[in-house]
Chain A
Amino acid sequence: MVNMIESGPTRAMETLQENRILRPLREPSTAFGVSLCLMHLFLALFAYSIVPYSISQLFTDGLTLPTAVHWLGTDQIGRDYLSRLLVGGQVALSVSLVGVMAAMIVGTILGLMAGYFGGKVDSVVMRITDTLMSIPELILIAVLVLTFGKSIGALMFVITMVYLPGVIRVVRSKAVSITMLDYVRAAELRHESTWFILIREMMPNMLGLLAVELAIRTSSAILKISALSFLGLGISQPTPDWGLMVQEAMSVVFTDPWFLFLPSIMLSSLIIGINFAVDGFARSFGISTDDL
């Protein structure tokens, strides 16, 4: 069953078809998601060099509508709105990325250990996980924020703690199935160290899953941080943040809905972008995103 018939695909298509990593980009929704992600990544990295004005300088006495000088107007205390909007995702994005990354590293190691060793190790890790999961998320966050204060570092820790149990569970279930496979037996039989078995034999076989995990958890973390900022538990003034901007806009929502929509659109475009991109890549690598 190896006769392939090809009927003249274009050269660009051919390149995409050959490249396993780039193949998902042929789907419009994935390409759309990836371009949104790239745009936000660009903003997060270079926003400070492209913003027209300083983000903390006061230009007017209060809210103004768009003018030729300030394209999106100024906010309640007179700062340039466009500049703050462009920079507003940076903190949330980096806090989520670092927080989720930490959760991924710790969670992967714990999950691998639980799945590989089974027995008592599994029970202990999983019972701790269950305990963490049984605490309502918002209460956990509130307690952590009140304990550690509202610094960026504390926020990262909060994100790590919130996402850790989920990562452990997903990694453990995959590790359990990989542990059954004979190549793990073969490694044990040649006296490989436990570390080698976990990291070199087992982990590479779940890299696709881990990548999808990372992306999906990050998008959810960004949303969570914005929600925290909105509730006053997250990022605080004067740092520009979309969640904070939405909260500020609440007071003028009936007179100037403009200020509510803009940060919301920025936030949604980032989340939608990540989700579309992840879905496309996950589909192409054969990973189900339903149960993440």
Chain B
Amino acid sequence: MALPALSESPQTIYDMIEQSTTLHYIKVDGLSVRYKTGPHTELIAVDGVSFNLERGGTLGIVGESGCGKSTLARALLGYTRPGSYFYSGSVHIGDRDILGLDDVLMREYRGGLASMVPQNSLGSLTPHQTVGRLIFELVCLHSGLHGKAAKFRVLELMDSTHLPDPAELYDRYPHELSGGQRQRLVIAAALVAKPELIVLDEPTTALDKTIETKVLDLVREMQRDTGTTLIYVSHDINVIAAMCERVLVMYDGRILEQGKTLDVFADPSTPYARELVASVPCLSRSHSVQQGSKEPGKNVAGSDTTQSLLKITDLSFEYSSLKGLFTKVTGNPKVLDRVSFGIAPGQVLGLVGESGSGKSTLANLIVGLATGYTGTIELSGEKISGLAKHRDHTLTRRIQIIFQDPLSSLNPQHTVETLLCRPMQIFFGYTRNQARDEAVKLLEELELSSDFLSRRPRQLSGGQQQRIAIARAFAAKPDIVLCDEITSALDVTIQAQVLEILGRLKREYEMAYLFISHDLAVVSSISDTLMVLEQGQIRDYGPCADVITKPTSPYTERLLDAFESQITDSVKKKEKRA
């Protein structure tokens, strides 16, 4: 698009919208998007959605995976995914229906007036081009600048998103940047044409919490400075509450509720929205103080407790480096560095850390999926070592693990019956019928009927799958269960169910858990003791309430700040006013 021509021709999209006199800047009316799934079947992704937004406003779209929020976000840019089409309705920006734009105007609209920040920043950056070059191209296209001026503008943009040392980053490739830096870069790219509307589709979902906070700050700052209209799509209520004045709650392609964020979240009118808000694990320091003060005498921390069920002493681990033919590289960064802790029977130890902090490695070492560590792991005073297959039957039975993604941890070709019976047949020598009876009992325990025995994982919902994975761990009648990020692949409402079930099973069986998660709010809702891991080292360790109220390391402090729940605060303010 030759942009200089814009100012001369009155028929550009900018002019059309500038001249608009309507009250609402964005007006979506009865919008439906459908997918063709077969010659006679269609899937309604967005179903008769209507809403308005004034210029400079911020709107959050929240809902669970598959509710149609991303499809709606794309529709605002006049785009449908392959296989889908606009069935009815209109999207007006100013008084122009953008769904009716021809190709030329549409291109102008998308790059210039409205832009999008996608979720997967690595996937949306061309891998063989340097990041500077990527933005340079956009600048040339949209602002008519060339050569040095364009490069200067690129550096300016990169600087405005607080990317460190733009001049140096300019010549790097996307994979050489960290996740947070990439997301900043994508935001910089979205700002190139000084758009009036930015649609952000889950821009921080793949990021660690402390980085997410920084990116959100950036978006907020950018919105304040430029007065851009912002539409923010997320499944995370906390993020929406922090970012947006208005919110749409979507379910099954429809809008369930819309209104001021504060009103909707403080007083949801539909049962679904109530459930959604209630399911969000909240972390607020004052709240935890109360919880902590209820059981003041309960001292569960300390690696020196003699009655520890699982005791880890000075555990260190590093990956053996790739040995060349003649060289051996030494001095690898340690994945785990002299980690010591203990878990008593019936106790839940929460382990928090960001990706790469070594928390999954720790679980793998305990359970016997990796070896080559130094230090000791003891179960009820008995030293365990080596890989699971070299360990004693009872030892492996007593430590069970639940994996993150049930779709990968449950064999898609096996029925639920096989999945649950196999451990019992192996560990207890049950016959198929005995095991089957036990499996039915287990299913009842998890509020699933015996009909599920004949189903395969793909015929179950995400929550049901994870419950089957939990049932499989409990089928071995373990003493301790390691939960490795088991809720991070689940929607919030299902996450709440799973946490509730784990809590109940813990009380019934006096079960000990090592609960691993990157989400401090989730961990603190279930744990007695909390351990914070950063780069393989323990930063904080103690009773949950103590760690949250009196963190001893700056890292924990930062993590807590990042998590401090905006929604509870906003709801509380609202309650006070009432």
Contact = CB atoms under 8 A, between A and B. Distances in A.
Nearest to B45: A1
Given A4-B43, A181-B408, A183-B411, A189 B401 contact: yes
A9 interface: yes
B48 to A, nearest CB: 11
A185 interface: yes
Interface stretch (B102-110, B124-132, B422-430, B539-547): B422-430
Given A5-B44, A191-B426, A186 B389 contact: no
Nearest to B392: A191
Contacts of B47: 3
Interface stretch (B32-40, B170-178, B255-263, B338-346): B32-40
Contact of A185 (B67, B253, B369, B422): B369
A177 B409 CA distance: 14
A3 B32 CA distance: 13
A4 B253 CA distance: 12
Contacts of A182: 403-405, 408-409
Interface string A5-16: 111110001000
Contacts of B404: 182
A181 B388 CA distance: 17
A1 B67 contact: yes
Contact of A204 (B44, B410, B413): B413
B56 interface: no
Given A4-B41, A5-B44, A6-B40, A190 B411 contact: no
A188 interface: yes
B426 A190 contact: yes
B203 interface: no
A12 B203 CA distance: 46
Of the listed residues A5, A182, A185, A204, the one surrounded by the most CB atoms of chain B closer than 10 A to its CB is A182
B276 interface: no
A246 B441 CA distance: 68
Interface in A178-212: 181-183, 185-192, 201, 204-205
B519 to A, nearest CB: 20
A9 B37 CA distance: 14
Nearest to A1: B66
A119 to B, nearest CB: 13
A2 B252 contact: yes
Given A189-B401, A190-B396, A191-B389, A1 B252 contact: yes
Contacts of B397: 190
Given A9-B39, A183-B409, A190 B427 contact: yes
A29 interface: no
B412 interface: yes
A236 interface: no
Interface string B511-539: 00000000000000000000000000000
B480 to A, nearest CB: 13
B44 A1 contact: yes
Interface in A196-249: 201, 204-205
Given A181-B408, A191-B426, A1 B388 contact: no
A86 to B, nearest CB: 39
Interface residues of B, number: 40
B476 interface: yes
Interface string B197-210: 00000000000000
A205 B389 CA distance: 23
Nearest to B426: A190
A201 B38 CA distance: 33
A205 B412 CA distance: 8
B369 A183 contact: no
A189 B40 contact: no
A110 B273 CA distance: 54
B84 to A, nearest CB: 11
B574 interface: no
A187 B328 CA distance: 34
A284 interface: no
Contacts of A191: 388-389, 393, 396, 426
B40 A7 contact: yes
A94 interface: no
B491 to A, nearest CB: 13
A188 B40 contact: no
Interface in A8-27: 8-9, 13, 17
Contacts of A205: 411-413
A201 B253 contact: no
B403 A186 contact: yes
B367 A4 contact: no
A91 B410 CA distance: 44
B68 interface: yes
Contacts of A9: 39-40
B476 A1 contact: no
Contacts of A3: 43-44, 47, 252-253
Of the listed residues A2, A7, A185, the one surrounded by the most CB atoms of chain B closer than 10 A to its CB is A185
Interface string B248-289: 000011000000000000000000000000000000000000
B41 A5 contact: yes
Given A1-B67, A5-B44, A185-B403, A190 B422 contact: yes
Interface string A94-126: 000000000000000000000000000000000
B42 interface: yes
A8 B39 CA distance: 11
B368 interface: yes
A181 B405 CA distance: 10
B151 interface: no
A182 B413 CA distance: 14
Nearest to A17: B38
Nearest to A8: B40
A192 B40 contact: no
B85 to A, nearest CB: 14
Nearest to A194: B389
B478 to A, nearest CB: 11
A186 B402 CA distance: 9
A181 B411 CA distance: 9
A5 B42 contact: yes
Contacts of A6: 40-41
Contacts of B412: 205
A192 B426 contact: yes
Contacts of A201: 411
A43 B472 CA distance: 51
Interface string B381-410: 000000011000100110011011100111
B32 to A, nearest CB: 11
A201 B404 CA distance: 19
8 contacts: A1-B67, A6-B41, A189-B388, A189-B401, A190-B423, A190-B426, A204-B411, A205-B411
In the A-B complex, the 7 residue pairs with the smallest Cβ-Cβ separation, listed nearest first, are A182-B409, A204-B413, A182-B403, A183-B411, A9-B40, A3-B44, A182-B408
Interface of A: 1-9, 13, 17, 181-183, 185-192, 201, 204-205
Interface of B: 37-45, 47, 66-68, 252-253, 367-369, 388-389, 393, 396-397, 400-401, 403-405, 408-413, 422-423, 426-427, 472, 476
Given A1-B66, A190-B423, 13 more contacts: A1-B44, A1-B252, A3-B43, A3-B44, A4-B37, A5-B41, A17-B38, A182-B405, A183-B408, A185-B403, A185-B409, A186-B403, A187-B411
